[in-house]
């Protein structure tokens, strides 16, 4: 037990030192690192929140449409409505709206289904635009932090009337942290945005297949 604790102590110390080093580097990036870090947290929150919503409402029960069609053919409209309402996903809401229009011409039912589908897809895309904005803003903030740092470095050189590689490189590497952090946050936000869109597009294809099957019963 003692040997285990002794062997794990250096690893824990190394991990703490590494975390301290990363935090120190971020602090050296300057005040511009604050909005970049906040944007990174916002990106993670938006991604997790949207994925949780999509996972819940983008589920498709393959047995729902056949059972609803069977109920409608037998004249059990109320049973079909109950089945649709018991399905908590978007498909259930869309089918429910179609059942409520039963008896109308197929063209009208199709238009109503299309409107309801567009509404459900819009709900899934809610706030994803912010990820696209973050993907564009974060790298710009990084470049602004770096450029402002470079301006400050050369201003100090002009005051000191002395060019030193140590002064330039020391200040410049600190400011380049802003660019690196901004690019990382931008790439993550860009990837998250397009991954969510890919999931929604994939769901839309499956949804259209289910709705075509449903419309054939009219």
Rounded mean pLDDT, 57-70: 89
The residue ranges of every structural domain in the chain are 64-125+210-215
Whether 127 and 43 have beta carbons less than 8 Å apart is answered as no
pLDDT > 90 fraction of the chain, expressed in percent and rounded: 37
- Is a pLDDT exceeding 80 seen at residue 22? no
Q: How far apart are CA 150 and CA 3, in angstroms?
A: 50
pLDDT tens per residue across span 173-191: 667 888 889 999 999 999 9
* pLDDT score at 3: 36
Dig out the tokens for 89 from the structure.
Answer: 């996903």
Which has more confidence, 22 or 4?
A: 22
Q: What is the rounded end-to-end Cα distance, in angstroms, of the chain?
A: 73
- Is a pLDDT exceeding 70 seen at residue 78? yes
* pLDDT score at 103: 74
Rounded mean pLDDT, 14-23: 53
Which has more confidence, 122 or 7?
A: 122
Which has more confidence, 30 or 117?
A: 117
Whether 54 and 203 have beta carbons less than 8 Å apart is answered as yes
- Is a pLDDT exceeding 70 seen at residue 6? no
pLDDT tens per residue across span 95-140: 988 888 877 777 888 888 899 999 999 999 999 999 999 999 999 9
Rounded mean pLDDT, 130-151: 89
Q: 3-state DSSP helix/strand/coil percent for the chain, to nearest 5?
A: 85, 0, 15
Rounded mean pLDDT, 202-209: 92
pTM score over 0.85: no
What is the chain's mean pLDDT, rounded? 82
**Residues in CB range of 88: below 8 A, 6 or more apart:** 56, 57
């Amino acid at each position: 037990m003692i040997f285990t604790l002794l062997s794990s102590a250096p690893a824990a110390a190394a991990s703490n030192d590494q975390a301290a080093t990363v935090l120190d580097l971020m602090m050296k990036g300057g005040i511009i690192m604050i909005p970049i870090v906040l944007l990174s947290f916002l990106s993670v929150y938006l991604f997790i929140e949207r994925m949780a919503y999509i996972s819940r409402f983008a589920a498709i029960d393959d047995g729902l449409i056949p059972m609803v069609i069977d109920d409608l053919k037998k004249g059990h409209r109320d049973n079909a409505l109950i089945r649709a309402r018991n399905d908590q996903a978007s498909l259930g809401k869309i089918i429910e709206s179609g059942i409520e229009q039963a008896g109308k011409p197929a063209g009208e039912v199709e238009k109503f289904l299309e409107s309801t589908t567009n509404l459900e897809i819009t709900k899934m895309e809610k706030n994803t635009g912010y990820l696209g904005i973050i993907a564009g803003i974060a790298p710009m903030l990084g470049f602004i932090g770096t450029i402002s740092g470079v301006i400050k470095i050369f201003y100090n050189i002009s005051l000191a009337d002395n060019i030193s590689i140590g002064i330039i490189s020391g200040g410049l590497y600190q400011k380049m942290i802003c660019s690196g952090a901004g690019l990382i946050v931008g790439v993550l936000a860009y990837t998250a945005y397009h991954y969510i869109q890919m999931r929604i597009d994939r769901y839309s294809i499956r949804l259209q297949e289910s709705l075509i099957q449903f419309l054939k019963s009219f």
